[in-house]
Chains A and B, each alone.
Chain A
């Protein structure tokens, strides 16, 4: 449904996107993860035809966004990080305007607007001026203009930004309901949100895709690596050198010389822990404490973006 190929975008000397490529299948809900300034919004703006790219292509259902922008945009609903609202309009008028601009036939506009308002629970504010609404309601109105024309593809940039917990839950439920009928790309820097709503995750850092896959695939890619902390009895420097010489130890560093505390990352399973303990005992360093932590998406993200 969405094919992004070799997207590159520079702003002067700054490379915002560097050869970004990915595909999204029909009906998928894809999470676009990245730190601030990673290139998520730039990618989404290009997909939706807001801005152009220096190189590469974007196809929506086989239609090139740069060559046939009008045709491609008919299939897209976009909620940018700042919803494009006309604050002087009433909610219902704005949604009707969105329906008209998105080429819904005149006879169907009223019905579509009603359905959209109902779906997003905007009935109580439909006759209010948008400028007088809270952040949460404005976000919902922004979402309304993105879905009123029932697009094939929904692009949501930080859809739960600034919302209270109840509103976040509501929006997430809505995204889950919309997924399947629509192909959705949503961006976030809140890992739990992406974890809970998305089938597929793309991690972007400094304009490049660093990894993509399902949550389990991403975690499994570095499942073998375990992070451990240990405290030796004495000569932590010597213990550090000994551990670094072991092939099972991927990374080791001193946490606190005063406490004789070290941290290390090891490849493999529980057998490797036996080897490390043997190495420390045979070297006379002793072992006072040993603890480990399981990898989660947060650590995957941290490792891939640092």
Chain B
């Protein structure tokens, strides 16, 4: 575990000491702020016009749920930017050889990278919790759904990082790693919407919907902590970490 943490610490330190890290964190937080502002504007509009139009005004819980959905989109943009260099850059610059010739296993390398990149993104996601914190300070939303929703974001982040690491491990080109990670995560995001068109109706549609991340985030964003949703994200993460381990181990045999 010491070795895993040493690898993680190095990558985390490298990220936050770099210009790239600063830019990614800044862009994420600016966009999160933009989305929150937009959501608040919509909320306030619904507060003022809703009763007049005979409908209900939006609640703070709905505002925060909308914000969490927005963060979900931001995460699938930021994860590729963070994970693209995890293995691709190291393979290209031959610095991965440093780890390959050290007395550590490929799994320790993968776990170290996973912990590092998840922590990097969690720092950013947690920084964005300032917006729900405002709502808690100045409003009266139910904290339960906020916490469960954030737990969902953490699970989403971890699973997306695992996917990003796998894609990065298969190429030496960061741009390709970014593009394919982004496309893959986008497909997983929209899979539940396009499932009827690609899977028809019946069992296939059900499978595609199950594979979509949005299917499992919906309940979590509503504050429903479901074991099946947690198992989905944990299994997703484990599978792609395993794939990454296989790719890194297979580099010896190419």
Contacts and interface: CB of A to CB of B under 8 A. Distances in A.
Interface of A: 48-52, 69-71, 73-74, 76, 78, 80, 82, 84-89, 97-98, 100-103, 145
A80 B103 CA distance: 16
B1 interface: no
Given A70-B103, A71-B103, A80-B97, A49 B14 contact: no
Interface string B236-253: 000000000000000111
Nearest to A11: B254
B103 A84 contact: no
Contacts of A78: 97, 101
Interface string B93-126: 1111111111111000000000000000000000
Contact of B10 (A50, A51, A97): A97
Contacts of B103: 69-71, 73-74, 101-103
Given A84-B96, A88-B18, A101 B104 contact: yes
B98 A145 contact: yes
A76 B101 CA distance: 8
Contacts of A97: 6, 10
Interface residues of B, number: 25
A76 B97 CA distance: 13
A49 B252 contact: yes
A41 to B, nearest CB: 11
A73 B18 contact: no
B3 A89 contact: no
**What 9 A-B pairs are tightest by C-beta distance, nearest first?**
A84-B98, A73-B103, A74-B103, A84-B97, A101-B102, A52-B252, A100-B6, A78-B101, A70-B103
B253 A52 contact: yes
A101 B100 contact: no
B14 A50 contact: no
19 contacts: A48-B101, A50-B97, A50-B252, A51-B251, A52-B252, A80-B97, A80-B101, A82-B94, A84-B94, A84-B98, A84-B101, A86-B10, A86-B98, A89-B14, A100-B3, A101-B99, A101-B102, A102-B102, A103-B3
A51 B101 contact: no
Residue among B18, B97, B102, B104 with most chain A CB within 10 A: B102
B88 to A, nearest CB: 15
Contact of A101 (B3, B95, B105): B3
Residue among B17, B98, B105, B251 with most chain A CB within 10 A: B98
B57 to A, nearest CB: 51
Contacts of B78: none
A88 B17 contact: yes
A101 B6 contact: yes
B253 A85 contact: no
A31 to B, nearest CB: 21
A43 to B, nearest CB: 14
Contacts of A52: 252-253
A49 B251 CA distance: 11
Residue among A78, A82, A101 with most chain B CB within 10 A: A101
B101 to A, nearest CB: 5
B64 interface: no
B149 to A, nearest CB: 35
Contacts of A51: 251-254
Nearest to B94: A82
B77 to A, nearest CB: 24
B155 interface: no
B109 to A, nearest CB: 10
B7 interface: yes
A16 to B, nearest CB: 12
Given A51-B252, A52-B253, A103-B3, A70 B105 contact: yes
Contacts of A86: 10, 14, 95, 98
Given A73-B101, A82-B94, A100-B6, 14 more contacts: A50-B101, A51-B252, A51-B253, A52-B252, A80-B97, A84-B94, A84-B95, A86-B10, A86-B14, A86-B98, A100-B3, A101-B7, A101-B98, A102-B103
A201 to B, nearest CB: 24
B25 to A, nearest CB: 17
Nearest to A85: B95
